[in-house]
A and B are shown apart, each in its own frame.
Chain A
Amino acid sequence: MRCPKAKMMLALYVGGDLPEFKASRLMAHLQSCDECAAELKTLRQSRVATEKIGGSDIPKALPADFADQVIGIVSAGKSSSLRQVWFRSGFQRMRPVAILSAVVVIVLIAVGVTQMVKDNKIESVARWRMELIQSVGGNGTGVAWETIPNLNDVFETPVRMDQFDPPREAGVYAVMHRIEAEGEPPRYVIDYCGESRRLGPFRGHPWINQSKGRLLSRAGSEENVYIAVMLMPDSTPKDRRDIEAVLIEAFNPYFNRVKGA
């Protein structure tokens, strides 16, 4: 197990949200990784701190006449004041674009510097490739992604594209759609694999390269398009392209195979 994946699992483990079978693999990793053991300690402290300060920040109770106000509004058929509230800060929203631009420039510089630090690579891409290709065994009937240890150890669980929350880090991703019959465990057909210097560009527009229509032609509906990401925060483009190549070889994704489709 690699450290970025282990750290994500630790964040679940501290709250009791990690399934048992994953927890045992995580514990095995912790035995041999001081960095992740330290991360666990900090996450535990963070959890205690959250409970402490969360409890101190309790909202004021609703006014005693709150129910009367609501019933008064609905009885009179009036609209609520929420619409006005949403526009109340309109003036403040007009803050100079320059501030936002400066933040963007700082973030871009930070990302560039981070990328120069090479670390956390997959130790042996060649070995991983061999294991993965053996595990997948052809993609004709789809892949039970979440049950293949070689994928599940390094990739985050696939999530629906329209609920995808892009991380800030660099990484490799796979776009896929589900094909299992109702009530069966998920099986995915991989439609596209790619690497990204910063997965953040998905933000605000979760459809890659404006190719929504093409992805839908494979998936059938927006709800059926999924994405899984493998975070490689300190990787070089070559590191990520190596992983991308392994995925393409293992899954032969339609849009990597048929250029311009």
Chain B
Amino acid sequence: MEAARRDRADLIEKARNGDAGAFRECIKLYGSRVNAIAYQMVGNGEDARDISQEVFIRLYRSLERFNSDYSFTSWLYRLTANLSIDFLRKNARHRQRSLDEPGNTVDIKDRSPGPDDNAESSEFYGAINRLAGELSINQRRVFVLRDLQGFPTEEVAGILKCRSSTVRVHLARARRRIKDALIKHYPDLLEVISDEMPES
């Protein structure tokens, strides 16, 4: 574990010093996570890839200014979350439509990646995006990082540069809204889970 951490630190240091091969390795190492965060933030594969590309371009241009006393991954994921938020804000009017609005189901379907996508066969494909669409931007980024990406609360606070208590406030509201949205849109799923869950 420690050796892997040191290897990664060396890789970042080399990339900082202009080693293109090391930078390429950085993209391979962190690209999937960056893309996953962007995807879960904006809910569209094509937009997520564009955001991921922008993340690494900005990373390349600012690597030499990066202070290695700070966490590289927190910095990278904060950049990803912030660019995704910029994207959402710039497209806010387009995306703010209520889930109840006629035609929105079609819209969600249209925003799905192509037929070669390995997740499209799932009956819940697009469901997370549908649910996360009920969240405000602050709630959504906390929900994505904590509940979908699994970062601990303290790390989410580090990524978003805010206090843990602020993360918890947004997280509590996000989970309650997700619960309400599940009741509204996927009541059958909750029923099945209820049957499977042991009484506590």
Binding site for B on A (CB under 8 A): 7-9, 11-12, 14-15, 17-18, 41-50, 52-54, 56-63, 66-71, 73-74, 80-82, 85-87, 89, 92-93, 95, 99-100, 103, 146, 156-160, 163, 165, 167
Q: Assess whether B61 is in contact with A74, with CB atoms less than 8 Å apart.
A: yes
* Complex alpha-carbon distance, A92 and B123, angstroms: 28
Contact at B45–A46, with CB atoms within 8 Å? no
Evaluate contact between A60 and B119: CB separation under 8 angstroms: yes
B77 to chain A, nearest CB (A): 15
Q: Which one, A8, A18, A42, A69, contacts B173 given CB within 8 A?
A: A8
Query: Considering only CB atoms, which chain B residue lies closest to A56 in the complex?
Result: B122
Contact of B53 among A9, A14, A52, A80 (CB under 8 A): A80
Query: Per a CB cutoff under 8 Å, which of B46, B163, B197 touches A48?
Result: B197
Indicate whether B9 reaches chain A with its CB closer than 8 angstroms.
no
Contact assessment for B53 and A73 in the assembled complex, using a CB-CB cutoff below 8 Å: yes
Give A84's nearest chain B residue, CB to CB. B50
Give CA–CA (A89, B131) in the complex, Å: 22
Residue from B28, B90, B125, B200 within 8 A of A57 (CB atoms) = B125
Q: 29 A-B Cβ contacts within 8 A?
A: A11-B171, A42-B179, A43-B175, A44-B200, A45-B193, A45-B197, A46-B179, A48-B197, A49-B193, A54-B147, A57-B126, A59-B39, A60-B118, A62-B35, A62-B49, A62-B52, A67-B28, A68-B24, A70-B56, A74-B60, A80-B54, A82-B50, A82-B54, A92-B94, A95-B94, A100-B96, A159-B169, A163-B166, A165-B170
Residue from A43, A59, A71 whose CB has the most chain B CB atoms within 10 Å: A59
A17-B168, A48-B193, A165-B139 are contacts. A61–B113 as well, Cβ < 8 Å? no
Q: Nearest CB to that of A146 among chain B residues?
A: B165
In the assembled complex, the CB of A88 is this many whole angstroms from the nearest CB of chain B, namely 9
By a CB distance below 8 angstroms, the chain A residues around B128 are 50, 53-54, 57
> Is B20's CB under 8 angstroms from A103's CB?
no
Give the shortest distance, in Å, between A159 (CB) and chain B (any CB).
5
Interfacial residues of chain B within 110-129, with CB under 8 A of chain A in the complex:
113, 116-119, 122-129
B113 touches A66 (CB 8 A): no
Instruction: State the Cβ distance, A73 to closest chain B Cβ, in Å.
Output: 6
Chain B window 187-199, contacts with chain A (Cβ cutoff 8 Å), 1 for yes, 0 for no:
0011001100100
CA gap between A163 and B54 in the complex, in Å = 25
Among A87, A89, A160, the most chain B Cβ lie within 10 Å of the Cβ of A89
Q: How far is the CA of A63 from the CA of B114 in the complex (A)?
A: 13
- Distance between A149 CB and nearest chain B CB, rounded to angstroms: 16
B62 CB, nearest partner CB in chain A, Å: 11
B178 interface hit (Cβ, 8 Å): yes
Please determine whether B32 and A60 come into contact, CB atoms closer than 8 angstroms. no
Whether B24 contacts A67 by the Cβ 8 Å rule is yes
Of B20, B119, B176, the contact of A11 (CB 8 Å cutoff):
B176
Q: In the complex, are the beta carbons of B91 and A89 less than 8 A apart?
A: yes
Q: If the complex has contacts A12-B171, A82-B54, are A165 and B124 also in contact, measured as CB distance less than 8 A?
A: no
Are A47 and B48 interface neighbours, CB within 8 A? no
B190 to chain A: which residues have CB within 8 Å? 42, 45-46, 49
Q: Which residues of A contact B24 (CB under 8 A)?
A: 67-68, 71
Any chain A CB within 8 A of the CB of B93?
yes
Which one, B31, B119, B171, B200, contacts A17 given CB within 8 A? B171
A46 touches B182 (CB 8 A): yes
Q: Contact string, B34-51, partner A, CB cutoff 8 A, digits 1/0?
A: 011001100001111111
Chain A residues whose CB sits within 8 angstroms of the CB of B27 once the complex forms: 66-67, 70
CB-nearest residue of chain A to B38: A59
Tell yes or no: B73 within 8 A of A by CB.
no
Most B CB contacts (10 A, CB to CB) among A7, A47, A54, A63 go to: A54
Q: A11-B176, A57-B125, A82-B50 are in contact. List 4 more A-B contacts (CB 8 A).
A: A56-B123, A66-B27, A66-B52, A71-B24
